Amino acid sequence: MSNALAVTAVTRTLRKLLDDAVKAPVPDNLPADVKPTAEIQVTTLPPDKARDGNTAKNQVNLFLYHSVLNSGWRNMDVPRLIMPGETGQPPLPLNLFYLITAYGQDNNELISHFLLGRAMSVLHDHAVLGRNEISDALAAS
């Protein structure tokens, strides 16, 4: 059962996945101009506020830019009677669309491409978020 914190929980779950992926150890054979040496941050800010002018850090930003009703799930039947005389609420199925941007230290595009590649790889490998992952990210949801 979801509540008003469901979207926040999904965003926090994705942020944790990205944080774990981009901060994983870097391969030894990575060229020096691609290897991040500064701190790596994962943020969830609007694109115009994501980069504060401090180019010394590496950053991956996850921004929820669009949400729409999922028409397939929206057409499901209303839940059956719960108690005599009561009916359940129909689900509010949403598709959430995120924009992922990466920034390299000192505006190094090769580092930003490396970070973006890691982010895309973890999302590709982890296409479905589990119930436990979401509840671990925000237990109140």
Q: What is the pLDDT of residues 98-121, one digit of tens each?
A: 999 999 999 999 999 999 999 999
The pTM score is 0.86
**Phi and psi at residue 45, to the nearest 5°:** -110, 160
Q: For the range 122-130, what are the long-range contacts, defined as Cβ-Cβ under 8 Å and sequence gap of 24 or more?
A: 122/17, 122/18, 122/20, 122/21, 123/14, 123/17, 123/18, 126/17, 129/10, 129/13, 129/14
pLDDT score of 138 more than 90: no
How confident is the model at residue 78, as a pLDDT?
64
66-83 as b/e: b if 16+ CB within 10 A: eeeeeeeeeeeeeeeeee
The token pair at 134 is 């979401």
How confident is the model at residue 81, as a pLDDT?
60
Cross-sheet strand order for the sheet of 58-69: 40-43, 58-69, 94-103
pLDDT score of 82 more than 70: no
- Mean pLDDT value of segment 16-41: 92
pLDDT score of 79 more than 70: no
pLDDT score of 141 more than 60: no
How confident is the model at residue 65, as a pLDDT?
97
Dihedral of the alpha carbons of 126, 140, 6, 16, in degrees to the nearest 10: -30
